[in-house]
Amino acid sequence: MSMQEYIEEAEQSLLHTYNRYQIILEKGKGVYLYDTDGIKYLDFVSGIAVFALGYGNREYNDALKAQIDKVIHTSNYYYNMPAIRAAKKLREASGLDRVFFTNSGAEAIEGAVKAARKYAYKKDGATDHEIIAMEHSFHGRTFGALSVTGNPKYREPFEPMIGNIRFAQMNNLESVEKLINDKTCAIILETVQGEGGLVPATEEFLKGVKALCEERDILLILDEIQCGMGRTGYMFAWQKYGVKPDIMTTAKALGCGVPVGAFLMTEKVAQNSLEAGDHGTTYGGNPLACAAVEKVLDLFEENHIIDNVREVAPYLEQRLEALKDRYDCITQRRGTGLMQGLVFNRPVRDVIERAIENGLLLINAGPDIIRFVPPLVISKENIDEMLEILESCIEPQETE
């Protein structure tokens, strides 16, 4: 069968909840992916900020193969060694005290929201506590995660959501202050908004929110699912500002392709929130997923992944800024580290489709923003290659 015939077969079987690009990716090596026809693509998507280590990392693959030969799953009725080791290393990397492994980022958000509400419930026994989230945020597709996602188009078809969620404006501390009341139990935000347009929290805003939380015993939940795991040049983006959350969520590059997430919390929150029976998961924290987490954290250190991000990210920013200055249709560069975006004055899907035709994988963040979230092992030469292809995909008449 041809690639197109396989795609047609997929459309007969898979639920149509994605407008997929018309290629079938089959294998990868380094920062490149290959489709079933053998065509090579430079990957600046990395599975939506997932495959930080690039493709075909032998040590990572061998660690997973070794664990498969031991045991893949046992359930959380028992301990397993990979989970114990992975939790210890994740605690050390984050500076937080307790870990709960999930299967995804959305599940990590669900657990974080439950922990925050249980923390407030244990203080006063009330069940009407409120959570403040940010406009234009994205936290996932499950009901709890969707409820704190600040984009009405994602929520409205599925309402009613879980109640008592209020939305403030990112980087507008006054808008947060106006929503705080005696019922507020948590404030949740992405340290860098991803789907919402590659918008980092400012240091002033993040420190201001943290101060408000400390004054009122409100929990600060930072969503580091996309912006964490080295993508900004720090293991977690909040570490740049020293604004430690009470609860943090992580996923995506945590497992570098194996579905795994986690929410972490301080000891204070752990001792005063979720108890035995309050939360659970069949697959979360299984030996295979945690073997991936453990190896990823080891390889980040051994291969100096964050050092590479700090070296190449400024070059990416510089090249994107120069591209913006050459084209009227590009109005802004946003982002930090290897989490960048170019804002266009029109929809960008046609540019992305042309890029695919020319061997470059890109994704959007909203209809008018091209998002750049490559593997964290990219080089300056890879950036040059990406920009050469991208520029050829912007129509010549769109130049100044």
Selecting among 252, 295, 368, 372, the annotated active-site residue is 252
Supply the angle between the helices 287-302 and 58-70 in degrees, to the nearest 10. Answer: 150
Selecting among 51, 138, 236, 372, the annotated active-site residue is 138
Count the residues in the chain: 400
Per the DSSP assignment, residues forming a β-bridge with 166 are 132
Give the E-state strand segments of 206-356 in sequence order. Answer: 219-223, 247-250, 261-265, 330-336, 339-344
**β-bridge pairing 219-223 and 184-190:** parallel
- Tokens 């995506």 locate to 252
3-state class of 374 per DSSP?
A: coil
Known catalytic membership, residue 138 = yes
**β-bridge pairing 369-372 and 339-344:** antiparallel
Contact 106, 140 (CB under 8 A): yes
169/10 Cα distance (integer angstroms):
40
53/61 Cα distance (integer angstroms):
11
Q: Residues 196, 163, 180, 98: what is their CA dihedral angle, to the nearest 10 degrees? A: -70
Selecting among 167, 205, 210, 223, the annotated active-site residue is 223
Known catalytic membership, residue 51 = no
CB atoms within 10 A of CB 341: 23
Contact 264, 90 (CB under 8 A): yes
* H/E stretch holding 389: helix 380-392
Output the DSSP codes for 124-176: H--S--EEEEETT----SSHHHHHT-S-HHHHGGG-S-SS-EEEE-TT-HHHH
Known catalytic membership, residue 350 = no
Output the DSSP codes for 187-230: EEEESEESTTTSEEPPHHHHHHHHHHHHHHTPEEEEE-TTTTTT
**β-bridge pairing 339-344 and 25-29:** unpaired
Contact 306, 122 (CB under 8 A): no
Which residues are tagged catalytic? 138, 223, 252
